[in-house]
Structures are given as structure tokens and as C-alpha cells.
Amino acid sequence: MTTTHHPRPEIAADLPAVPLTTEGYSVLHQMMRFRRSAWRALPAAEKSAIAGEAASLLSEMEQHSPGQSALYSLIGHKGDLMLIHFRESFVALNQAELQLANLRLSDYLEPTTSYLSIIELGLYDSTLKIYKELRDQGIEPHSDQWKAEIECKLARHREAMQPRLFPQIPPNRYACFYPMDRRRGEDKNWYTLPLEERARQMGEHGLVGRRYAGEVKQIITGSIGFDDWEWGVDLFADDPLVFKKLIYEMRFDHVSAVYALFGQFYVGVRVPAASVEKLLNGELPGVE
């Protein structure tokens, strides 16, 4: 009996260059300056009423579900307040923004900058495995079958990674936020490296962060197409010195030393909503 062998479809040797990602909460950072001279001119009773209204809304936002908000007193000249919002959609972020804008307190706040992004888990190692597995099955990259298989695998990953994709804002006393890019210059360009090489470098990079797991909580957000940089990074810790140590050590990684570009850094002290009036009147809660 003669057996007919059907040749497997020819698949391009090159795998797609784009790593897979899974996404969670939408995130908005708002940095604001407080108009203290105008505030000081108000009668004490009016200041108390305005602060009480703001505290009530911020208390609701602290407990909001899904997603919540947190207030920080910024250190330095880049602003006085930073608000971090986690929400289930950009519409919900916009609603939070509008609620704050409708407060009487907003008359005494001047936005200095903001940052829009979405919590992102990069799947470099998984991407290589998935792409090679699909290629070995004879599935054409970017075909409908390819897309369906990838979505099925990503759905399982999203389910497993729910706590990391939809976290609570860590309760630590200090927060550090900064945006960053991967270099795209004429000499060094992250996006022209093969996927395997990018995966290797990111693997080494991740080892440093894991050494600080008990001291700092890190949340990475993607912002390509949403804001001026490619990623946002939030670090939360009870000792701000760990921010310096972690970021400094990471600068010696090949991926950071050669390809990383950093934006402005913002460091703030967490302020409970119930303590808003104290903060507006020049007292940092928890400091004697």
C-alpha cells in the first residue's frame, strides 16, 4: 500500500518580533501644585469645609472597587500632590478625573503633569515558546488560526496572573514613579535586536528586581500610544533608600546600561484621605 505524505505548509523562518503582553488595570498619575497663597487667604471655616468635601471623595476613591486611588505628598519642586488611580477602564479613569475637577479644592490645585498607562506584564520567555510551538505545528504567523491560538494562551495567562494585573495600590509609606523608554537611536536600537536576545537581556534584568522582592513592590505599566514615554514604573516601599539601591543596581544590567532612557522621577509620602485637611494646612500626617 502506498502512503501519501502531505507536506507541511512552509512557514517563514523568522518569528514575529513583537513580544506578547497581558494587560490589567488602567492607570492615571496626576501631579498637582497647591496654590498655598490663595488657600491661606480663606477663612478657617471655609478651608475646613473644602477639605472635608475633598476628604470624603478621596475616602470613597481609596475604597473604590474595582481599582482604587491613593494620595501622596510630593517631595521637591515638581509638584505638591500626586494622585495614583487604578481603574478597570479609561472611561473610569476619566470619571475619577472629573470627580476631582468638580471639587471646590480644584480651584486651588494647578496640574503640573500627568501620565496615562495600563498595567502590563511582558511575556518574553512565554512568547518564544508559544511562537515556536505554533510554528512547529505549521500555523502561519498572523493568520486567523495563529491569532486564535495566541488569544487562548493569553487568556489562560491572564487568569493565572490576576493578582498582578489587578493589584491593590500597595499601602507602603513611600512611592516613586518614573517613565522610561528603550533606546531607538542611530547607534543602539532595542527594537532591532532579535526577540531571543531581548528575552535573554530582560531575564537578566528581572533577576535584580527579584532580589528586592521583600523590600519593594514594583508595578510596570505600558504607555506606548497613550503617553510620551513607553513605560511607567511605580515603586512602593517603607524605606525610600531602597529606590536608590534598586535603580542603581539595575543601571549595571546590560539592558539598562545600553538601552534605557529615563524620564523625571517623582517621590511622594502616602497621605490617608482622612488627613487631607492636615496636609493642606502644612502638617504631614504621622510626623510629630
Annotated active-site positions, please? 178
Say whether the peptide bond before residue 66 is cis (omega within 30 degrees of 0): yes
DSSP state of 31: E
Q: Are 229 and 263 in contact, with CB atoms under 8 Å apart?
A: yes
Contacts of 202 (CB under 8 A, 6+ apart): 122, 124, 255
- Only one residue has cell 471623595, namely 57
Cβ 53 vs Cβ 104: under 8 Å = yes
Pairing relation of β-strands 109-122 and 217-222? Answer: antiparallel
* Helical segments of the chain, H only: 36-40, 44-62, 90-101, 124-136, 144-160, 162-165, 195-211, 241-250, 254-259, 276-280
